[in-house]
Amino acid sequence: MFPKWFDKWNRENPTNIYGPAILVGAAGVAVTVAAFLVVVGQPFKTESLQSGPRGTGMSRAEFVSDLAKPDPTIEVMYSEAPYVPEGGEAKASEIYQNVQVLGDLTEDNFNRLMLAMTDWVAPDQGCAYCHGDVDVEEYGNDDLYTKVVARRMLQMTQNINENWDGHVNANKQVGVTCYTCHRGQNVPSDIWFRMGAVNEAAGGWAAVQNRVTVQSQYTSLPSDALETFLLDYGRIGVHNLEAHVAEYPDEEGVTTWQDTERTFSLMNYVANSLGVNCVFCHNTRAFYDPEQVTPQWSTEQLGIGMVQEMNNDYLVPLEEVYPPERLGPVFADAPKAACKTCHKGYQQPLQGTNVIADWPELATTGAPVYE
């Protein structure tokens, strides 16, 4: 096709085409990637939350892709609008036997809530989980521990919504229902039991170090932090902030380095439970100054008080009701709650979904307000 002289010259003067081809290919890939990022979005883009005064480093950066990732349990959460009473309807306590908590509800709203609780707590077992495999006429019996526990949990839920509004609804109306903790499981995830001695080495001297446990968030920090602070009302604090203080560990009220580590253990647990870091509540320049903390610090303080009340007034007293298989493996104690039981890694449980809107019966110990 080409003249002979051209073919001869071409053979005698070969050209390296790989360098330009690689250059052109790399440029093409770069253009394609840039176009993809413009159209689809930057997957590693971060978003900062200013959690304190500017210039103090009190900001928290998170990947936008993580922030936008939905909690998968939200989509499957069951909810149903209430039936607004017209007046004159018979009450549940007049129709059914042994209705101790929700007796003032109309029959329609009572059954609506019972069906919802079944879906939230025992979707596989159904009504039989609390009432047993009996006729409807026998549903008033308290033969199963699950029904006794469920009744007390209803009272606890009403108490949380009614008396701990400052924590639960700190930013907007959110509320809690059975689903907040259970998420379709008979027993909520992230409950806890007393651990016992956790600084005993398998052999030799433990060097006063702690075994790594799930409650210490897989660190060697003390594993009894939840027991000390969320059950026994222990004082959350670190060592004396003054230097050269004449005090001794055996003196009452003196905070030891073990107490400091125990506080760090609790803070680590709280951070992991909410998916945040220290500056979400604290000013890193003044960790111990309550006048320089963020608003979230106060919300967390209310949360700690709420959990203490839940454990001591509602959960621990049920110890004699539970069968042995529901009790702790070491001390046979009742299961207890903590931050992660509700939050499950999110700043707000169920990412701030208003779960109480359709359930005014769970929002108050008094007569529900229907709208």
Exposed/middle/buried for 350, CB within 10 Å: 0-12, 13-18, 19+? buried
Residues 168-197 as b/e (b if ≥16 CB within 10 A, e otherwise) read: bebeeebbbbbbbbbbeeeebebbbbbbee
Q: Give the closest residue to 306 by CA, choosing from 166, 190, 179.
A: 166
Q: Give Cβ neighbours of residue 170 (< 8 Å, ≥ 6 apart).
A: 295, 299, 302
| Pair of tokens at residue 268 | 């680590």
Annotated binding residues for heme: 114, 127, 130-131, 153, 167, 178, 181-182, 267, 278, 281-282, 339, 342-343
CB-based contacts of 144, cutoff 8 Å, min separation 6: 130, 131, 132
Q: CA 226 to CA 4: how far, in whole Å?
A: 90
Provide the annotated binding site: 114, 127, 130-131, 153, 167, 178, 181-182, 267, 278, 281-282, 339, 342-343
Count of C-beta atoms within a 10 Å radius of residue 351:
14
Per residue in 90-102, is it b (16+ CB within 10 Å) or e — as a string?
Answer: ebbbeebeebebb
- Total residues found in the chain within this entry: 371
Q: How far apart are CA 301 and CA 201, in angstroms?
A: 35
Amino acid letter, 306:
M
Largest separation between any pair of C-alpha atoms in the chain: 110
Q: 136: Cβ–Cβ under 8 A, 6 or more apart, which residues?
A: none
Rounded Cα distance, 137 and 160, in Å:
32
CA distance 111 to 263: 45
Task: State the distance between the two ends of the chain, measured CA to CA, in whole angstroms.
Answer: 88
* Residue type (1 letter), 276: V
Residue 169: which residues within 8 A CB-CB, separation 6 or more? 175
